[in-house]
Structure 1
Amino acid sequence: MLKAIAWIQNILNKFRKDRLAAYSGQSAYFLILSTLPFVLFLLTMVQHLPIDINSLMDGIFLIIPQKYAPTVEAIFNDIHVDAGGTLMSVSVIITVWTAAKGIMAITDGLNAIQEIDETRNYFFLRFKAACYTLLFAIVIIFTVFILVFGNRIYFWIRTIFPSFPEYSQLLSMLKSFIAIAFYILIFTLLYKFLPAKRMKTLHQVPGAIFTTAGWMISSYIFSLYVDRSTSSSYMYGSLSYLILFFIYLYFLMYIFFLGAELNFLLFPETKEDYHLKY
């Protein structure tokens, strides 16, 4: 019993030492700053794809709380109409800078958890953050593409195979499994490549699974709260949803760093791996 208490106390001490709350707030802050230019950049890219605006909005409404729908639709329509070549250029530049700060804040937090110092070139880190931003944009576009055309593909398959509806539940389960596996893969790669140390891939999987589960549960609770809360709306108006989003993003980043802590606690031998210079 005493050993268990001492073990828990050591974990809590490490959490305080690693300043998870500070790094979570810093990461959430810079991610919030990068949200608007990133959305501008993303929507400008989407305009060049063969996607109908209404179909795209239907897909987006599937993954956001219902109360956010009117606001998101108004912002999306304004950006979609006004976006142009100049906006594309400016948003790319701003996105690269702000997203780099967000990624670098996350990297600093992971380095603190792994108890290592950053030794890589500053400009390389900026370039790496820009690459992650572009990759993230591609992933989002691909996800929206699947959301938009998923039902069309389903109905097309039904016309060819009339008995296909019998397997619709199995298909839905398969889609959920693929989505979960995809998120686990993304978090594993972030835990592996962001810190300034060579990390073993399999050692990052437990934290990735923990983070995926934590994000899914948090998103579900957040969605329920937003859809059913009324008191905060009367007090703060539309600003309440923005405040809730900030708090929500902070908790997501905290869970992300908790996943990294879990990896470190399960595999402490990774402390001896050498630092990366590039």
Structure 2
Amino acid sequence: MKLLKKHLGWFIKRVDEDRLDSTAAHGAFFLLISFLPFVALLLTLMQQIHFSDGVSLIEAALGIFPDSVAEYLATLLPDPIHSSGVLPVAVIAAVWSSSMGMLAVIKGLDQIFQVKETRGYIHLRVIAVIYVLIFAAVLIVAAALLVFGTTIYRFLLERSSTFVAKILINFKSLAGFVMLFLFFTLLYSGVPRRRAKFLHNLAGAAFSAAGWVLFSFFFSIFVENFSDFSIYGSLATLVILMFWLFFCMYIMFLGAEVSMWLETSGIGMDLHNLSKKWKKHHQRNKRERAQRRAQHSSHKKE
């Protein structure tokens, strides 16, 4: 109980010192500014992937949002770009604009991981662009896995046993979690200039990925059934999107705090000492039970 109180207090103190709510709000604001360019980039790239059902791929990507937000974003679907000269320019402009949000994420992670940033603005912007492209690829792959799950199942069924194919296809619903987990692992490990144990970053990434998936699911249910945003009028969709972005950013930064907690709070040593105490206590009880059995046997002989 003392150990739980100690580390819970440590975690709450760190969240307060790092001003996680302000950091998440700052990141969500810049993500909102860069959100439309990012969506335009994502949908433009999807339109260049010539599957037999390209619209379903886009709909699957929008499926991670609450329905009201997804309907609004669906109106942003760009017209197909046929000019080979216009497409690269449009993609570059969208990537550069959407990197503003990722730049805010990088600064927030630097604050949480207590890293003094020495890289220049252009260097950081290039890193932000790279992670925007990675995140876009993650969303496209996750959407493709959801849309083409049946096709993948048939492919696996033809080349493996029915049992193996069913096991693999049952995990397709975890595609979003796995993709987010890989992205957050890369983000926590690659963005801050620090040396940390990879397992600590894995734990933080798992927390953030699970948090995003669960929060998006329950937030969608809440928005559709229990909330009333009509007071905001025509701004209701924008407000919903802002709420969603804020809490997703908060969860992502909480994952970074989990990584820092494992790294700096001494939880590993505390658990090791607790394990040693438990083993000593167990051995002492074992000896006492053996002594009682021996005494009981001697009394019987007498």
- Structure 1 residues 209 and 53, CA, compared in 2 at 3 Å: closer, same or farther? closer
The 5 Å alignment of 1:76-95 reads 76=77, 79-81=78-80, 86=86, 89-90=89-90, 92-95=92-95
The 3-state SS of whatever aligns with 1:50 is: coil
* Per-residue Cα deviation, 1:201-248 (whole angstroms, up to 9, x for no partner): 122111112112211221111111122146323x33453232122111
* Alpha-carbon contact 1:111-1:195 (below 8 Å) kept: yes
Deviation of 1:189 after TM superposition, in Å, equals: 1.4
In structure 2, relative to structure 1, the CA distance for the partners of 1:253 and 1:155 (3 Å cut) is same
Q: Tell me what 1:195 maps to.
A: 192
Q: 1:8-47 maps to which residues of 2 (within 5 A)?
A: 8-47=8-47
Cα distance in 2 between the residues matched to 1:222 and 1:96:
30
Change in 2 beyond 3 A, CA 1:106/1:60: closer
Shift of 1:13: 2.7
Q: Per the alignment, in what secondary structure is the counterpart of residue 198 of structure 1?
A: coil
How far is 1:263 from its partner? 1.3
Q: What residue is the counterpart of 1:106 in the other structure?
A: 105
Q: Secondary structure at the match of 1:267?
A: helix
Q: CA RMSD in A?
A: 3.2
Q: Partners of 1:149 and 1:30 in 2: how far apart? A: 33
Q: Distance in 2 between matches of 1:94 and 1:61?
A: 18
Shift of the 202–167 alpha-carbon distance from structure 1 to 2, 3 Å rule, reads closer
Q: For the structure 1 residues 242 and 167, does the alpha-carbon distance in structure 2 shift closer, same or farther, using more than 3 Å as the test?
A: farther
| Residues 71, 111 of structure 1: alpha-carbon distance in 2 compared, 3 angstrom cutoff | closer
Aligned length: 264
The structure-2 alpha-carbon separation of the partners of 1:213 and 1:82, relative to structure 1 and needing over 3 Å to count, comes to: same
Aligned to 2:181: 184
The structure-2 alpha-carbon separation of the partners of 1:239 and 1:255, relative to structure 1 and needing over 3 Å to count, comes to same
Q: Which residue of 1 is the match for residue 167 of structure 2?
A: 170
1:56 paired to 2:52: no
CA 115–60 in structure 1, closer or farther in 2 if over 3 Å, else same: closer
CA deviations over 1:242-273 (Å, ceiling 9, x no partner) = 21221111111111111111111211189xxx
Query: Alignment partner of 1:176: what SS?
Result: helix
TM-aligned CA deviation for residue 124 of structure 1: 1.3
On the 8 A contact 1:30/1:102 being kept in 2, the answer is yes
- Give 1:148 shift: 2.9
CA spacing shift, 1:34–1:172, aligned 2, 3 Å:
same
Q: Note if contact 2:184-2:208 (Cα within 8 Å) is conserved in structure 1.
A: yes
Distance change in 2, residues 1:122/1:138 (3 Å): same
User: TM-score, normalising length from structure 2?
Assistant: 0.74
Greater shift, 189-198 or 178-187, is seen at: 178-187
Between the aligned residues of both structures, percent identity stands at 34
Whole-Å Cα distance in 1 between the matches of residues 175 and 47 of structure 2? 27
Cα distance in 1 for partners of 2:19, 2:62 equals 36
Q: How does 1:237-248 map to 2 (within 5 A)?
A: 237-248=233-244
Which consecutive unaligned segments of at least 5 residues does structure 2 have? Answer: 267-302
Give the alignment partner of residue 214 of structure 1, picking from 211, 215, 234. Answer: 211
2: distance between equivalents of 1:67 and 1:269? Answer: 42
Alpha-carbon distance change, 34 to 257 in structure 1, aligned in 2, over 3 angstroms: same
Q: Is the 8 A contact 1:113 1:260 kept in 2?
A: yes
Tell me by how many angstroms 1:182 deviates: 3.3
Helix, strand or coil at the partner of 1:259 = helix
Partner Cα distance (1:29, 1:18) in 2? 18
Whole-Å separation in 1 of the counterparts to 2:4 and 2:58: 51
Q: Which has the larger radius of gyration?
A: 2
